[in-house]
């Protein structure tokens, strides 16, 4: 098994999405935002790590395509097998043609553009933190497929946001109790 296989790193239901787009779809654009929570702002953090580890450089290889055909979808540390996918979806709608297209026409590099606010930026909730769009009209389905891995930035953003708020509370307490 390869260290990480972007083809396997998605939610099980997303493997059928390429079949559900309207005919002649050629472009998808998604944005990601913090819809709100305990605080008015979010500290955006963690996307660069995900992009560099999982999305940069050659990500689609013949070995990874074959691995998906054999295994199914990996969810966290567990693998959702072809049998489970078949039970869940009625079949295993693996988009082999789409992944082969990326391998053959883009050398295995993912044809998407990701734009984001700088990491560490304090952003009011309900504002765009990053966007994703396809650069090849044949790969419109890839934008939604990548959502699962991209959303892993919520954990470090949440930790950064909580840490920022704790620092503010500590600072207020220091000011209130200091000798000056």
- Half-sphere CA count of 146, side-chain side, radius 13 A: 29
Q: Is residue 128 part of a domain?
A: yes
pLDDT at 91: 60
The domain tally of the chain equals 1
Q: Is residue 1 part of a domain?
A: no
- Residue 99 in 3-state DSSP? helix
What pLDDT does residue 92 have? Answer: 61
Please indicate, yes or no, if residue 131 is contained in any of the structural domains.
Answer: yes
Q: Flag whether 75 is in a domain.
A: yes
In the prediction, which pLDDT does 78 show?
A: 44
Measured CA to CA, the distance from residue 62 to residue 69 in angstroms comes to 11
Domain at 116, CATH number: 3.20.140.10
With a cut of 70, list the residues of the chain below it in pLDDT.
1-2, 72-92, 180
In a domain, 6, yes or no: no
Residue 61 in any domain: the answer is yes
Could you tell me if residue 3 is inside a domain?
Answer: no
pTM, rounded to two decimals: 0.83
**Domain boundaries, position 125:** 12-177
Average pLDDT, the chain: 88
In a domain, residue 77? The reply is yes
């Amino acid at each position: 098994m390869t260290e990480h296989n972007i083809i396997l790193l998605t939610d099980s239901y997303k493997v059928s999405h390429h079949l559900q787009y309207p005919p002649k779809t050629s472009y998808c654009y998604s944005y990601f935002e913090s819809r709100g929570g305990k605080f008015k702002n979010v500290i955006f953090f963690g996307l660069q790590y995900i992009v560099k580890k999982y999305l940069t450089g050659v990500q689609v290889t013949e070995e990874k395509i074959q691995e998906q055909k054999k295994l199914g979808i990996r969810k966290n540390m567990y693998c959702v097998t072809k049998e489970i996918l078949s039970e869940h979806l009625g079949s295993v709608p693996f988009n082999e043609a789409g992944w082969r297209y990326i391998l053959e026409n883009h050398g295995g590099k993912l044809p998407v553009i990701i734009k984001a606010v700088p990491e560490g930026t304090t952003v009011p909730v309900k504002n765009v933190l990053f966007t994703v769009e396809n650069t090849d009209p044949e790969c419109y389905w890839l934008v939604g497929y990548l959502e699962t891995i991209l959303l892993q930035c919520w954990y470090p953003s949440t930790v950064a946001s909580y840490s920022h708020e704790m620092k503010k509370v500590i600072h207020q307490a220091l000011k209130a109790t200091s000798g000056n």
